Amino acid sequence: MGLVVFREDHTQPPFRKMHLRPVSEELYETTGTFTDNGEDEETISVGMQVMPSVIYKQSQVAVKYLRNVMKTKIFDNPKDHEVLARIIRYCTSADETDVVLDFFAGSGTTGHAVIDLNREDGGDRKYILVEMGEYFETVLKPRILKVIYSKDWKDGKPVSREGTSHAFKYVKLESYEDALNNIAFTHEAEGQEALELYGDDYLLRYMLDFETRGSETLLNVEKLAAPFRYRLRLRSGEASRSVPVDLPETFAYLLGLRVRSRKVYHDGERRYLVYRGSTPERGEVAAIWRDTEGWGERNFERDRDFVKENGLIEGADEVFVNGDSFIPEARPLEGTFKQRMLAGP
C-alpha cells in the first residue's frame, strides 16, 4: 500500500506515512485520475446535497497529478483540482455565467477546476486568477494551456484528445519598480539640477507633474500617434528588456468598458482597431485607434471619410480617438486616459 516511503537519497532513512483514514488503491494508480476515498462515483459526479466540514484527500494525489501534467515536479503543495471542482459545483450553477475568483492562484488549480467542471457539465463558468509569483510563466500559464488541450496527461504528454473550446486571456500589470525605472526627465538638465537642490521630496511632490511628464510610464501622449508601437522597459534581475504595451486594452479597462466587440479594419496600408461597448455613465462607446504618425491634412480627411463610410461609430453616444482627427463626433482620448490612470482610489 505504499505506506513506507523510500527517499531518493539512499543515505536518508525511509519513513512511514500516517493517514487520517485508510487510503484506497486508486492513490497508487499512474493514470493521473483519482477519486475521493470512501465515496462512490455517483456521489462525486453529482456533487453533495450537504457539504461536510472536512474533506479527506491524500495531498500526494494532487502532487502526482500535477507532475503528470507538467512532466516533472515544479511546484510544491498544489491544491487538488478535483476537490476544488466539487466545491465550485456546490456553489455555482452550470446554467449561469458565474465567476470564480482566486487572488492567490499559485499553480492555477482553481482555473483547472473550472475548466474541467465546465467540460463535464457543459457550464459557462468564468474564472479570474491573480498571481504575482515568478512561476506564472513556468507553471500557471502552461498548466492552463495544457488542460484546455486535454483532460488527461501522463509524463507531460496528453493521453486523450478530450480538449475544450476556451478563450484564455491574461494581463500583466506594471509593477511599482518598473514604473520607477521608466521615469525619465523631459528636460533632463533642469530636472537633475532641481533634484540635487531639493532632494527626493521635490521628486515625489512635483516632478511627477512637470519634469517627468513625458515618461512612458506616465503615458507620453506625444507617442500615442503610434499606439501599436508603445513600449516600456521591464527589469528582470540585473537585466532589462523592452516590451510592448497594449494601450487600447488598457484604456478599455480604465474606462470600465464592457467590451462587446474588438474589430480590425484596413484602409489600404492603414490599420484601425475599434472597440465597441458600453459603460453605465457614458452609454454606448466607440474607441478608435490608428497610427497617425506623420499625417497631414489630406490624411485626416481620408480618415474621417473612412470612419463614416464604414459606420465605425454608428449608434455611439460617445466616441474616443487617439491623437488628432477631423471626425466631428470624436474627442481625443489622451486626457481621459491620463486622468483615469493617475486617479486615486
* pLDDT tens-place string over residues 172-201: 877 766 666 666 655 556 556 666 665 555
Q: In the predicted model, is pLDDT for residue 313 greater than 80?
A: yes
What is the model's pLDDT at position 7? 81
pLDDT digits (tens, 9 = 90+) for 5-59: 888 888 888 877 766 555 555 444 433 343 444 444 444 444 445 666 777 777 7
What is the model's pLDDT at position 289? 97
pLDDT confidence band for 112 (50 / 70 / 90): very high
Percentage of the chain with pLDDT > 70?
Answer: 74
Beta carbons of 225 and 323 less than 8 angstroms apart: yes
What is the model's pLDDT at position 13? 87
Q: In the predicted model, is pLDDT for residue 213 greater than 60?
A: no
Distance CA 61, CA 81 (A): 10
What is the model's pLDDT at position 48? 44
Q: Using CA atoms of 160, 163, 27, 111 in order, give the dihedral in degrees to the nearest 10.
A: 160
Backbone angles phi, psi at 66, to 5 degrees: -65, -35
Range with the poorest average pLDDT among 24-38, 119-133, 215-229: 24-38
Beta carbons of 285 and 254 less than 8 angstroms apart: no
Cα 30–chain centre separation:
32
272 grid coordinates: 484601425
Mean pLDDT for the stretch of residues 298-325: 95
What is the model's pLDDT at position 3? 74
The label of the residue with cell 480590425 reads 264
Of 81, 62, 69, which is closest to residue 127 (Cα–Cα)? Answer: 81
Q: How, if at all, do strands 270-279 and 283-290 pair?
A: antiparallel
What is the model's pLDDT at position 200? 58
> For the packed helices 140-149 and 59-70, what is the interaxial angle rounded to 10 degrees?
80
Beta carbons of 206 and 199 less than 8 angstroms apart: no
pLDDT digits (tens, 9 = 90+) for 83-110: 899 889 888 888 888 999 999 998 999 9
Percentage of the chain with pLDDT > 90?
Answer: 37
What is the model's pLDDT at position 247? 93
Number of neighbouring beta carbons within 10 Å of residue 331: 13
Three-state SS annotation for the chain: CCCEECCCCCCCCCEECCCCCCCCHHHHCCCCCCCCCCCCHHHHHHCCCCCCCCCCCCHHHHHHHHHHHHCCCCCCCCCCHHHHHHHHHHHCCCCCCCEEEECCCCCCHHHHHHHHHHHHHCCCCEEEECCCCHHHCCCHHHHHHHHHHCCCEECCEECCCCCCCCCCCCCCCCCHHHHHHCCCCCCHHHHHHHHHHHCHHHHHHHHCCCCCCCCHHHCCHHHHHCHHHCEEEEEECCEEEEEECCHHHHHHHHHCCEEEEEEEEEECCEEEEEEEEEECCCEEEEEEEECCCCCCHHHHHHHHHHHHHCCCCCCCCEEEECCCCCCCCEEECHHHHHHHHHCCC
Distance CA 79, CA 298 (A): 60
Q: In the predicted model, is pLDDT for residue 210 greater than 80?
A: no
264 grid coordinates: 480590425
Check residues 32 and 130 and name the one with the higher pLDDT: 130
Q: In the predicted model, is pLDDT for residue 231 greater than 80?
A: yes
Check residues 258 and 71 and name the one with the higher pLDDT: 258
What is the model's pLDDT at position 163? 85
User: pTM here?
Assistant: 0.66
What is the model's pLDDT at position 25? 52
Burial of 125 (0-12, 13-18, 19+ CB in 10 A): buried
64 grid coordinates: 502526482
Check residues 115 and 78 and name the one with the higher pLDDT: 115
